[in-house]
Amino acid sequence: MTTRVGFLGLGMMGKPMASNVVKGGFSTTVYDVSQEPVKDLVKLGAKASGSPEEVAKVSDVVIIMVRNDAQVEEVALGKKGVLQALSKGSTIIVMSTAAPSLVKKLARECGKKGVGFLDAPVTGVRKVAEGGLTIFVGGDEKLLERHRPVLAKMGENIFHMGAVGSGEIAKLVNNAISIATGWATAEALGMAVKGGADLKKLMVALSATNSSANSWSLQNWDGLMHMKKAFQPGVGAIALAGKDMALFLEAAKEVDQDVPILQCVSQFSDLSKLKWPGPEGWV
């Protein structure tokens, strides 16, 4: 592939995403504060770099998949950030879950230097290794089409949502709905178990195609249970629920939208405080 890709952030999601880009044949330069995932990517054929700025010097498109807004802004606009070194006509793609207001700010800064910008957050943690993510893209549609071959190595469903920031809005709505239904499902099933219901039979019945209670949470309950058992503060997708709900509420406030139910849900987004019913008891 002629497009040179830079990839920043090799965590739980970033590492397999970058791996799929490398396996897809793209010349890829990677950076992470932790050296272990960098070494693993180098073994696959990637090139290591010492800073975001160095990545930008050898890349046509730089993908940012770091943890939070502060890190996104630092690697993009910091003293050794990518915008310091990207050439005119290159592109930044933020695939982290970030505030719509932040990606709009980054897009404006990129525009001043003739650099393209897309926000393209993802969902589908259980399919990340196989390149089966869903990607919500905000920004110029022609720019998306230019970089679709790279994104297609990471995602099987790529949706253009509109202008810059609309990708992040779609992702925050996705997460808000997912978190709210997940927590509500846990509480409702807990009542059922204590009331004497057979959890396995109940799950089968509720997961029926025409059941009004059917949801992603029910369909993926085993996966959620696994993540709950393996929960560590600050680690993994579920651990970021509080951050994602805070971003959703911030975005809602900016557009003057009342969200009282989701405001309530946000108070319980710390998974460590919840007990969920499972086949082997409560976790």
Cite the beta strand spans of the chain per DSSP E. Answer: 4-8, 27-31, 47-48, 61-64, 91-94, 116-119, 122-123, 133-138, 155-162, 277-278, 281-282
Radius of gyration of the chain (CA): 20
C-alpha to C-alpha distance for 150 and 175, rounded to whole angstroms:
24
Catalytic residue flag (residue 243): no
Task: Say whether 20 sits in a helix, a strand or coil.
Answer: helix
C-alpha to C-alpha distance for 203 and 189, rounded to whole angstroms:
9
CA distances 98 to 112, 128, 182, Å, are 21, 19, 21
Give me the phi and psi of 214, to 5 degrees please.
-60, 140
Query: Considering 88, 171, 228, 243, which one is annotated as catalytic?
Result: 171
Which H/E stretch holds residue 73? helix 69-77
Label the pairing between strands 61-64 and 122-123: unpaired
Asked whether the beta carbons of 91 and 118 are under 8 A apart, the reply is yes
Give me the phi and psi of 85, to 5 degrees please.
-125, -10
Residue of 23, 66, 45 lying closest to 152 (CA atoms): 23
Task: Say whether 116 sits in a helix, a strand or coil.
Answer: strand
- Active site amino acids: 171
